Amino acid sequence: MGNQDEKTVAIVGGHNVTVFDQHQYDKTGYQPSDDNPELVASVDHNKIFRASYGTKLHYQRLALESREAWVGINKEQRDKDNGAEDLFVPCGMLRVQPTASLSQLEQETLANMTRDGLRDTQFVEGNFEDRERATKRGWGSKLLEFSIPDDPDGRSFEAVLDSLAGFTRCHKGCAYFHQVAEKVGVVFKFGPQQGSFDCLIEEQVSGGKKAVGLKTKDGQVHKADVVVIAAGSFSTQLLPDLSYHLESSAGSVATFKIGETDKQLWDKYSPERFPVITWKSAPRGKDGKDTGSVYVLPRTTEGFVKIGYRGLKFTNFRPAPEGTPFTQDGKWSIPLPPSECKSLPSFSSDAIREFVAIFLPEFKDVPFYSTKLCWYTDSLDNSFLIDYVPTYADRSVFVCTGGSGHGAKFMPVLGEHAADVFENGDESITPMRPFWRWREDLPRRNGLQEGPDGPRNIGEKAA
Ligand SMILES: Cc1cc2nc3c(=O)[nH]c(=O)nc-3n(C[C@H](O)[C@H](O)[C@H](O)COP(=O)(O)OP(=O)(O)OC[C@H]3O[C@@H](n4cnc5c(N)ncnc54)[C@H](O)[C@@H]3O)c2cc1C
């Protein structure tokens, strides 16, 4: 990190430049395990890549910048090894609408795509010209049609095929960037002892408290001028000063497994033939928010078909440690231990089953191969939190977290924008700076206002 040449930096978490990580990725190569989910969002078979962001043009642009980078990595990998598996697969994404017409969010997305000259990459099923263009460009077979169950007029859901979208093999992305970082001299310390953050080492200075390093679980003290906390949904537990800004909540994930011998399903759900599909069901909740947002990705090379439900992201309220700056009834929402993350609340498994019946009919009565809760790091407004922590003097603590369920796609470019903020603070040139700043002036919203009495809490309710 250029201008910081004189300084030592210790980073906890984040894969691109991780120094300390409690997981043994050097041994596992970031391979996800369905038998033993590690609760780490990035270490997963695949994550959706999309640049469709409604009115959030800044994220649309960041996603397109990232797409270019992913495509470059694919090329680099193939140049080295002709048979290398792509890290980014542009298989397209079908945004199936709640009804037979386009939703408002979809109209906003299309308007922003038009504004950036990208409208021709989007194909609206109900639009004759779009369908023709899709066929001409080889996307016609992915413009799939799904009937609305019990519709008296026999209509189908409106849908938009996004040819810019697809998925990333995010665990392989982690392994790739691990190598990149090691090559430029980043030192990695993995494992539950030497890689696991225990606490910050602090000193009192005239401006207040200052971090001068960190201690790991093996008792070692590591001096550093700046400590970076990038520990995903665990970040608040490492640095309780984040407690106002972030909340951990669980997404529900289920898989089916297709055997290679089942040629019909193997081919049908391959990325060559099947797009990512997302769907927001109607009707919505009383507050107008969607309660039925579900997605599926094409099968992996191992045959896994992954389905995710994010209509309701479950919180787990537990007593917060003494001195935590922000709590709700003395509690905060943190990830459940791994052993309690292997089954899904019936609310989400029912929603996934409804989705399966419509979109993956062959699996209607097939038991799930695996299920797990996977933890989001939700922020006040769904934007990342990447900034110096003002409660520490001398810019001694920096945070890079708050992925809010959409961070994996940005893996190749996030570090560069974060490094700009790290080096230049308010003088940084990244257009993301205003969105990622420390923002305790914002009200607690985006679901973070609900607290332990909210409908999503699967942890402890208030006494
Ligand atoms: C269910 C679900 C679905 C998602 N789907 C998508 C999607 O389709 N597309 C997309 O772009 N994004 C998606 N995301 C978001 C994306 O996965 C995250 O934004 C991203 O992976 C966050 O990366 P991270 O490095 O901040 O956190 P993580 O990946 O959680 O990594 C945190 C790291 O910190 C380490 N750590 C934690 N505690 C300690 C400690 N005490 N000491 C040392 N190390 C520690 C962990 O071992 C881990 O390696 C999804 C997230 C979830 C939960």
3-class DSSP state for residue 191? coil
C-beta of 214 in contact with ligand 1 (< 6 A): no
C-beta of 401 in contact with ligand 1 (< 6 A): yes
pLDDT of residue 165: 98
Distance 40 CA to ligand 1 centre (A): 5
Q: If you take atom 27 of ligand 1, which residue's CA is the nearest one?
A: 232
Any idea of the CA torsion for 222, 228, 234, 236, to the nearest 10 degrees? 110
Closest approach atom of ligand 1 to CA 403 = 19
Distance 123 CA to ligand 1 centre (A): 32
Contact between 66 and 53 under an 8 Å Cβ cutoff? The reply is no
Task: Give, to the nearest 10 degrees, the angle between helix 411-424 and helix 170-183.
Answer: 50
Closest approach atom of ligand 1 to CA 46 = 8
3-class DSSP state for residue 170? helix
Q: Tell me the C-alpha distance between 256 and 234, whole Å.
A: 28
Dihedral sign, Cα of residue 59, residue 420, residue 226, residue 12? positive
Q: Tell me the C-alpha distance between 285 and 247, whole Å.
A: 22
Task: State the residue for tokens 């208030």.
Answer: 462
3-class DSSP state for residue 433? helix
Q: Tell me the C-alpha distance between 413 and 416, whole Å.
A: 6
DSSP 367: P
Task: Record the pTM.
Answer: 0.94
Residue to mutate, 406, 409, 410, 414, ligand 1, most ligand atoms under 8 Å from C-beta: 406
Mean pLDDT by 10 residues, the chain (463 residues): 57 55 90 73 95 92 98 97 96 96 92 94 98 98 96 97 97 95 90 96 94 96 93 97 98 97 98 97 64 92 96 95 97 95 93 95 97 96 97 96 94 96 96 97 95 92 56
Closest approach atom of ligand 1 to CA 251 = 1
C-beta of 106 in contact with ligand 1 (< 6 A): no
Residue to mutate, 11, 22, 33, ligand 1, most ligand atoms under 8 Å from C-beta: 22
Residue to mutate, 25, 42, 190, ligand 1, most ligand atoms under 8 Å from C-beta: 42
Dihedral sign, Cα of residue 111, residue 115, residue 116, residue 121? positive
Distance 38 CA to ligand 1 centre (A): 10
Q: If you take atom 15 of ligand 1, which residue's CA is the nearest one?
A: 405
Distance 375 CA to ligand 1 centre (A): 8
pLDDT of residue 38: 63
Among residues 135, 125, 124, 110, which one has the least CA distance to residue 60?
Answer: 110
C-beta of 372 in contact with ligand 1 (< 6 A): no
List alpha helices for 233-338, DSSP H: 235-238, 263-268
pLDDT of residue 13: 52
Contact between 125 and 310 under an 8 Å Cβ cutoff? The reply is no
Residues 6+ apart with CB under 8 A from 12: 18, 19, 20, 21, 197, 214, 227, 228, 229, 230, 231, 238
pLDDT of residue 404: 86
The pair of structure tokens assigned to 138 is 């080889």
Q: If you take atom 4 of ligand 1, which residue's CA is the nearest one?
A: 405
Closest approach atom of ligand 1 to CA 231 = 34
Structural Rg of the chain based on CA atoms: 22
Contacts of the segment 346-350: beta carbons below 8 A, 24+ positions apart: 347/312, 348/252, 348/309, 348/311, 348/312, 348/314, 349/252, 349/254
Task: State the residue for tokens 């021709």.
Answer: 120
Distance 142 CA to ligand 1 centre (A): 30
pLDDT of residue 14: 47
C-beta of 40 in contact with ligand 1 (< 6 A): yes
C-beta of 70 in contact with ligand 1 (< 6 A): no
C-beta of 375 in contact with ligand 1 (< 6 A): yes
Contact between 304 and 255 under an 8 Å Cβ cutoff? The reply is yes
C-beta of 231 in contact with ligand 1 (< 6 A): yes
Residues 6+ apart with CB under 8 A from 134: 123, 140, 142, 143, 161
Residue to mutate, 33, 40, 245, ligand 1, most ligand atoms under 8 Å from C-beta: 40
C-beta of 405 in contact with ligand 1 (< 6 A): yes
Distance 41 CA to ligand 1 centre (A): 3
